[in-house]
Amino acid sequence: MLSPIDISALALRLAKLDEVKGRSLWADARLRFMRNKAAVAGVILLLLCAGFAAFGQLISPYSYDYIDFNIMGHAAEMGAPSWAKGYYFGIDDQGRDLFARVAMGTRISLWVGVIGTAISVLAGTLYGAVSGYVGGRTDSLMMRLVDVLLSIPFMFVLILLLVMFGKSLTVLFMGIGFLSWPAMARIVRGQTLTLKSREFIEAAQATGVPALRIILRHIVPNLLGIVVVYATLLVPDIILTESFISFLGLGVQEPQTSLGELISEGAKTMRYGTLWQLAFPMGFFMATMFGFYFVGDGLRDALDPKDR
């Protein structure tokens, strides 16, 4: 049995020790995520795709809009992928280097996905958290607005926007982001409602913490788990949407390109025997999709506290 003096001396010694670094729930989640092989493979796949998108153009000897007039029109006979000529992925129908174009397409597709998701997450999280936290009439009103927005056919509006404001990347980015936030707001609001009745929120209210600070410091950090998961699953959705718009010819404008547009061109010329024009963009498209879905799945498992 220790005497009281020993205990206080021990306490003093312990107090002089370095501060103990806590392991946050995020650190726990990171450990669990790292143990998930598919998710880690997804991250590596995504990093490779992103690296290719960022630096691919530097490796290629040709620029994405350089037209080789010698090959133009003879893609099927002379444009196959060739290491010697520097056309690693072959050429497209206009005689442009497909490697450089796929790099550019991947870059634009990733940007659309990431920026669209960022807008959607930011708007959706704040809107949903405020609606759920305030509650009552405000909540009903805000959620009815979301219902109205969700009932508008998203693709038509996006196409109308592109026709009205001209086909520009900015409109595409913003349009996709703003049109996909209502679903996010719904999910966040539901989660906020369950958080609101937790005692730590009550404790903050009792001590007089202002509502905005409660939302930003107590509610939003506890929502991040579900938001991160939903966001990683939203990115491929948005890339798909952009691909569809580009497929219709309303998306990215020549000579710029996106994966959707490349796939669309590749599909058109498939019957002339230039299969590489479809295969390479398709491969990168699928790799990105798989990457995001695996990471999303891994995050969902890692952030689920019941899995501990």
Partner 1 sequence: MTLIEAQDLSVTFTLRREGDMPWTPPRRLQAVKEVSFSLQPGETLGIVGESGSGKSTLARALIRMLPATGRVLWQGVDLLTLNPHQMLKHRAAIQMVFQDPLASLNPRMTVGQIIAEPLRTHFPHLPAAEVKARVQLSMDRVGLLPNQINRYPHEFSGGQCQRIGIARALIVEPKLLICDEPVSALDVSIQAQVINLLADLRRDLGLAMIFIAHDLSVVRHISDRVMVMYLGRVMEDAPKRILFKSPRHPYTEALLSAVPIPNPAAERAKKMIPLDGDLPSPMNPPSGCVFRTRCFRAAPKCAAEVPRLEAYDPKVACHFPNPVS
The reply on whether position 209 binds partner 1 by CB under 8 A is: yes
Phi/psi class of residue 136: alpha, beta or left (left: φ > 0; alpha: ψ in -120 to 50)? left
- And the tokens for 250? 């309303």
Question: Does position 193 bind partner 1 by CB under 8 A?
Answer: no
Count of residues binding partner 1 (CB under 8 A)? 30
Figure out which of the listed residues 204, 233, 282, 287 binds partner 1, where binding follows CB under 8 A.
204
Among 1, 2, 24, 151, which residue sits at the site for partner 1 (rule: CB under 8 A)?
A: 24
| Among 63, 94, 205, 269, interactor with partner 1 by CB under 8 A | 205
Q: How many CB atoms lie within 10 A of CB 87?
A: 25
Residue from 203, 212, 270, 286 touching partner 1 (CB under 8 A): that is 203
User: Can you tell me the distance from the alpha carbon of 49 to that of 217, in angstroms, rounded to the nearest whole number?
Assistant: 35
**Should residue 144 be labelled a site residue for partner 1 when binding is judged by CB under 8 A?**
no
Distance, in Å, from the CA atom of 78 to the CA atom of 72, rounded to the nearest integer, reads 9
Interacting residue with partner 1 among 60, 222, 264, 277 (CB under 8 A): 222
Q: Which of 15, 58, 84, 164 binds partner 1 (CB under 8 A)?
A: 15
Q: How far separated are the first and last CA of the chain, in Å rounded?
A: 36
Helix spans in 60-198 (H): 75-78, 98-134, 136-151, 154-165, 169-196
The C-alpha atoms of residue 281 and residue 101 are separated, in whole angstroms, by 9
77 forms part of the interface with partner 1 (CB under 8 A) = no
Binding region for partner 1 (CB under 8 A): 11, 14-15, 17-25, 198-200, 202-210, 213, 217-218, 221-222, 224
